[in-house]
Structure 1
Amino acid sequence: MTEITWFLTAGFALLVILGVPFAISIPLVISGALIAADIEPAFLAQSVISGSQQFSLLAIPLFMLAGELMSAGGLSQRLVDFASTLVRHLRGGLAMVTVLAALVFSAISGSAPATTAAIGAIMIPAMVTAGYDRAFAASIAVSAGVLGPLIPPSIAFVIWGIVAEQSIGRLFLSGIVPGIVLAFGLLVICWGHAWRNDVPRLPRASIREAATAFARGRWALASPLVVLGGIYGGIFTPTEAAAVSCVYALLVGLFIEKQLQLSALPAIFFRAMRTSAIVCAIIAVSAGFGILVAQEQIATRFAAWMAANISEKWMALAALNIAFFLLAAVMDEIAIMVILGPMLIAIANRFGVDPIHFGAIIVTNVSIGMAAPPIGYCLFIGMAISGLSLTRISRAIWPQILWMLVVLFLTTYVPSFALMFQPAAR
């Protein structure tokens, strides 16, 4: 291997093991490779600038901001109230409210951590008060947050669309069926937990109460319709849709719900900027990493090695899923997509996997990683809200993880499962 290859593989692995943040370790690796190969150091600055100047990247901070505005403006509470009137009387109904509210909020925020935080902060204390085990309450909020990257619009699909140079709108559509099937399985798990533990049911909501909750929540429920209707109606692009989401959330929060205060906006903007900066920094500095990987033909050689040693497509996809699941348990999901993207795409092309189908596989893997022990982002949010240890929540979440793996299996080996809503070829 050349010096550049050593830096990009062994050097990067060493920094990850040492716990160096990805936004720092990537430029360090690139700098070492440039010095070793006697390449002009300005390459790093040029690649960072080119990597950050992509129009689609604007969708990430804008969707982050939309989620923060929706939560602060009280729309997440409206979603919970409406969902409660529909299913709270069923066995496990309050836990089901968490899943249904997260399903709708996911179509607003596009983010697993944002969905977990917004819905979990309301529902975890409510479930504990109603007699649910605290660890289960936290685990179902974390699991429901996983719907964030699957239900369109999705930040994870935006990132993969940039990396793979695929239609973000078509990628959005590929997450609908996996997301809905995942939500259905979580509802069954909620019922089973309540049945085994004899959790008391809540009284059925009256028609008047349901109608009132719907009227109060209509602006929150309309948000996904506005955003997705605009995208697939050809009115605006996914990036422009993110801006529309922000304006919508701001106007509703300030002038209709009137729970959003002007004095709170600086803190809301700061939270969204802080999260977005981490994501965008990784993507920007990874542009140079990807260029060097392509120059050294690392992805191409690895894909050729897999093709020579694995003859069947289903075996290659199984190997990728296992590797991705293990990596996602110990490594940042966004970094995996951005850094390993060229290699994953080369493998998919080698085995003839449809690029949109492959994007659904990757994002489903990423979604599971958000909840998988030991470092899933949503797990730590659940820990902060519930006050429980990582061990307690990890023990409670395994039934949900197993169902997520079933959904991943269907997404991987039944292409129509992910491609059901794709537009017909012209």
Structure 2
Amino acid sequence: MSATDWILIAGFLFALLSGLPVVFALGIASILGLLITDIDLIVLAQRVVAGSQVFSLLAIPGFILTGNLMMHGGLSKRLVALCQVLVRRMVGGLGIVTVMAATFFAAISGSAPATTAAIGGIMIPEMEKRGWKKDFSTALATASGPIGQMIPPSIPMIIWGIIAEESISDLFLAGIIPGILIALGLMMVSYFKARKDDISPETGCLEKGALRATLRDSKWALAAPLIILGGIYGGIFTPTEASAFGVVYATFVGLLVHRELDIREIGSIVSASMCTTAMVCSIIAVASAFGWLIAMERLPERLAAAILSVSDNKILILLMINLLLLFVGAIMDNIAAMIILGQVLITIGAQLGIDPIHLGAIVVINFAIGMATPPFGYSLFVGASISGLKVEQVSNALWPMLGVMIFVLMLVTYVPWITLALPQLLN
């Protein structure tokens, strides 16, 4: 490795470990890299601007705002109510409700922290009231949130599509089956936990017409993902246009249908969404400058060659990639990590003959697991803040769920059909 490589990597890690936000750590490392290579600092500004001027990035603020509007407009509450009517009388019913509701909401928000906040805020107190341990309830909401990273409209899938120059629609499809498999696995964890702790299911007969009434009340929430995703795959609009339609739809339903969205709240909701968008897009923009420097130094090719020199066994190399991504995802922002490691992974994938869509799904699922993994998972912090527990307490209850997620990751890695079946079927 050259001196510039060491400056870039060591500068970034030192700034990150010093407690600086990721965007500043990336910026400082980029400035040091430019100085040592004697490149004019104006290049940093040029690369930051270039990194932010990608049309597909416009989908990100739209989907973030859509998720926040739907959460405040009562749609998440109605999804939970529908799931409760359907399965709460099963063993582990409330745990299953949490996972089902998170999966439905994931198809609206595309964000792990937003899904954990929307569903956890409702279900953690409800599960505790019904005899579930608070740490398990919080861990379940935390682990369910990352389903939002996999199921469309997944924001990380959009970013990977931009990095790898692959179809965002195909990447959306690639995440559906893995997301469903993880949801089913988390439901099984809830079932066995309820059996172990002798938590009785809800009793009493379902009131006549209750299911029909709940379905009628939640029809607007159920229609949201169908309209948005149906519009994308039906060729009616692009993912970016779909995000804008989602904002209009969420505002209409919240204000005029459910009437739970106060027009005076819209300003604060937009402001909060803008803050999240600014954080995401600033990381993307600065990371693109950092990534350009790394590419200029040919670090991706050299790292890829080093990894491939260890073994020519595809199974072993894929295992090494997963271990690397799981580690990075647990300590670093997943968007920045995708941009920094993107070219390395794309180069390795091309040499191994891995389908780019399959590779994208592997990367996104790894980083989705990182959202719930200690010590720095965003969903973990959201879950802990909602429940009032310490991060350590939630982390101790997370291990069975992380085991399920890693098992599905291994299936996805070594059985490409799981991610490629839907894109191939619909293309």
State the TM-score bracket (shorter-chain normalisation). Answer: over 0.9
Q: Which amino acid aligns with 1:156?
A: P
Distance in 1, Cα, partners of 2:93 & 2:278: 38
Asked if the contact 1:303–1:350 (Cα under 8 Å) also holds between the matched residues in 2, the reply is no
Deviation at 1:2, TM superposition (A): 3.6
Equivalent residue number for residue 404 of structure 1: 405
- How far off its partner does 1:326 sit? 1.3
In the alignment, which residue of structure 2 is the partner of 1:137? 137
Distance in 1 between the 2:179 and 2:202 partners?
27
Residue pair 1:12, 1:25 contacting (<8 A) in 2 also = yes
**In 2, Cα distance between the equivalents of 1:295 and 1:385?**
44
Q: 1:70 is matched with which residue?
A: 70
Question: After superposition, what is the alpha-carbon deviation per residue over 1:206-231, rounded to whole angstroms, capped at 9, x for unaligned?
Answer: 34111111100000000000001000
Is 1:118 aligned with 2:154?
no
CA distance in 2, matches of 1:191, 1:333: 31
> For 1:244-259, what aligned pairs fall within 5 Å after superposition?
244-259=245-260
- Partner deviation per Cα, 1:260-291 (whole Å, 9 max, x = no partner): 01110111011111111111001001122122
Partner of 1:174: 174
In structure 2, the residue matched to 1:30 is 30
Contact 1:113 1:378 in 2 (8 A): yes
Note the 1:340-419 alignment, pairs <5 A. 340-419=341-420
- Letter matched to residue 375 of structure 2: P
Is 1:150–1:367's contact at 8 Å kept on the other side of the alignment? yes
Q: Is the 8 A contact 1:116 1:382 kept in 2?
A: yes
What does residue 226 of structure 2 align with?
Answer: 225
Q: Distance in 2 between matches of 1:392 and 1:33?
A: 40
Contact kept in structure 2, 1:7 and 1:30, CA below 8 Å: no
| TM-aligned CA deviation for residue 9 of structure 1 | 1.8
Deviation at 1:109, TM superposition (A): 0.2
CA distance in 1, matches of 2:207, 2:259: 27
2:11 and 2:28 in contact (8 A); partners too: no
Q: Residue 152 of structure 1 aligns with which residue?
A: 152
- Aligned residue for 1:12, secondary structure, equals helix
Unaligned runs of 5+ in 2: none
Partners of 1:362 and 1:41 lie apart in 2 by: 32
1:423 to partner: Cα distance? 2.9
- Classify 1:128/1:424 alpha carbon distance in 2 versus 1 (closer, same or farther; 3 Å): closer
* 1: CA distance, partners of 2:344 / 2:166: 16
Say which is worse superposed, 57-66 or 343-352, in terms of deviation: 343-352
2:9–2:29 contact (8 Å) kept in structure 1: no
Amino acid at match of 2:78: R
TM-score scaled to structure 1, two decimals?
0.98
Task: Give identity over the alignment, percent.
Answer: 46
Amino acid aligned to 1:106: A
Range with greater deviation from structure 2 (126-135 or 330-339): 330-339
Q: Give the superposition deviation at 1:424.
A: 5.1
Partner amino acid, structure 1, of 2:334: E
2:13 corresponding residue in structure 1: 13
Q: Distance in 2 between matches of 1:195 and 1:306?
A: 45
Q: Shift of residue 166 of structure 1? A: 0.8
Could you tell me how far apart the structure 1 residues matched to 2:183 and 2:16 are?
A: 33
Determine if the alignment matches structure 1 residue 318 to structure 2 residue 311: no
Q: What letter matches 2:156 in structure 1? A: A
Give the match's secondary structure for 1:371: coil
8 Å contact 2:72–2:260 — kept in the other structure?
yes
What residue is the counterpart of 1:163 in the other structure? 163
Q: Secondary structure at the match of 2:331?
A: coil
Amino acid at match of 2:265: A
Quick one: distance in 2 between partners of 1:355 and 1:288?
Answer: 23
**Equivalents in 1 of 2:391, 2:304: separation in Å?**
37
C-alpha displacement at 1:425, in angstroms? 9.3
Deviations 1:117-147 (A, max 9, x none): 0010000001111111111111111111111
Shift of 1:417: 1.2
- Distance in 2, matches of 1:4 and 1:425, equals 45
Query: Residue type matched to 1:298 in 2?
Result: L
Say whether 1:86 aligns with 2:89: no
The letter of the residue matching 2:147 is L
Matching residue of 1:41: 41
- 2:34 partner amino acid: L
**In the TM superposition, what is the alpha-carbon distance from 1:107 to its structure 2 partner?**
0.4
Please give the alpha-carbon distance, in whole angstroms, between the structure 1 residues aligned to 2:218 and 2:394.
Answer: 31
**Counterpart Cα distance in 1 of 2:261 and 2:359:** 40
- Aligned CA distance change for structure 1 residues 231 and 409 (closer, same or farther; 3 Å): same
Q: Deviations over 1:181-228 (max 9, x none)?
A: 111111111111111111122134334111111100000000000001
**After superposition, what is the alpha-carbon deviation per residue over 1:342-361, rounded to whole angstroms, capped at 9, x for unaligned?**
11111211211110000010
- 2:187 aligned partner, one-letter code: L
Partner-residue secondary structure (3-state), 1:19 = coil
Residue 307 of structure 1 corresponds to 308
- Bigger mean CA offset, 73-82 vs 20-29: 20-29
Matches of 1:389 and 1:29, distance apart in 2 = 32
Cα deviations across residues 362-407 of structure 1 (Å, max 9, x unaligned)?
Answer: 0110110011111111111111111111111111111000000000
Matches of 1:300 and 1:362 in 2, distance apart?
18
Q: Which amino acid aligns with 1:43?
A: V
Aligned with 2:358: secondary structure?
Answer: helix
Of 233-242 and 342-351, the range deviating more from structure 2: 342-351
Counterparts of 1:183-194 in structure 2, within 5 Å, are 183-194=183-194
Q: TM-score if structure 2 supplies the norm length?
A: 0.98
Q: C-alpha separation between the residues in 1 aligned to 2:96 and 2:126?
A: 12
The alignment status of 1:100 with 2:94, answered yes or no, reads no
